[in-house]
């Protein structure tokens, strides 16, 4: 009996990727026989968030057998049609289009039992995660996060007025902008492999120059290999 994979959602979670919050889906792939029997092999995968308004194009891959389904690539308007897509063994298929009006309750309601009666396993294409409404930026002459910059100054710089250390490098946004001239949006302004905070507080190197002592090796390289980034010799 030929086998194919079916994708089932088991849970979603809020994650932070590159400083941006978004929903991610965990899905479970099960191998099903044509008669709907479930194999013992189960795997979990982390599916990253997609762009707002785009239909996810995760692929369902078959194992052996004939070519993939000839279902045309098109916009898919509802959950019923999503459930009706057939992916035959031996190939894979992705579909693109606008995000269908499918709710989380709909998605979580698609279970193994609801599809196992099909002659061939069905495929559920997961829509993109909903996009949260943007919050109003904090503005004004106040200093909400107490980092030494007004909210208006932070908006001009592109830093977070609700976070005193936007880039997480150990220096406040105010220290970086007014005292050290480092970039409060980059944790390693000179790109030498040490954070701006490490250079200022720990190694006493220049966070604006990748090779403080000018010996041809970056400060980060020297520190990682046990050498003094401020001159000759070992640490």
- Average pLDDT over every residue of 48-61: 39
Q: DSSP for 146-211?
A: -SSS-HHHHHHHT--TT-SSTT-SSS-HHIIIIII---TT-SSTT-SSS-HHIIIIII---TT-SS
Give the residue extent of every domain in the chain.
3-115, 151-224
145's tokens: 């996060």
pLDDT value for 138: 64
pTM of the model: 0.44
Residue 2 has pLDDT above 90, yes or no: no
Residue range 115-162, pLDDT digits in tens: 333 333 333 333 333 344 445 556 678 899 999 999 899 888 888 888
DSSP structure class, residue 45: E
Percent of the chain having pLDDT more than 70? 41
Beta bridge partners of 14: 23
The whole-angstrom separation of Cα 39 and Cα 193 is: 47
- Average pLDDT over every residue of 150-176: 90
């Amino acid at each position: 009996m030929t086998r194919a994979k079916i994708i089932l959602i088991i849970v979603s979670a809020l994650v932070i990727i590159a400083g941006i919050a978004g929903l991610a889906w965990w899905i479970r792939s099960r191998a099903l026989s044509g008669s709907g029997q479930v194999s013992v092999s189960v795997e979990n995968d982390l599916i990253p968030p997609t762009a707002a308004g785009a239909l996810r194009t995760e692929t369902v891959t078959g194992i052996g057998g004939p070519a993939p389904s000839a279902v045309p690539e098109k916009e898919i308007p509802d959950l019923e049609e999503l459930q009706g897509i057939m992916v035959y063994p031996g190939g894979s298929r992705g579909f693109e289009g606008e995000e269908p009006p499918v709710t989380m309750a709909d998605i979580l309601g698609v279970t193994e039992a609801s599809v196992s009666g099909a002659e061939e396993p069905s495929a559920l294409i997961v829509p993109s995660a909903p996009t949260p409404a943007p919050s109003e930026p904090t503005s004004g002459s106040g200093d909400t996060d107490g980092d030494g910059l007004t909210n208006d100054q932070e908006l001009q710089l592109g830093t977070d007025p609700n976070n005193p250390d936007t880039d997480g490098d150990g220096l406040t946004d105010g220290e970086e902008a007014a005292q050290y001239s480092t970039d409060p949006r980059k944790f390693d302004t000179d790109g030498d492999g040490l954070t701006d905070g490490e250079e200022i507080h720990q190694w006493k190197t220049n966070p604006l120059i990748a090779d403080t002592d000018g010996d041809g090796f970056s400060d980060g390289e020297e520190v990682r290999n046990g050498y003094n980034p401020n001159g000759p010799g070992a640490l």
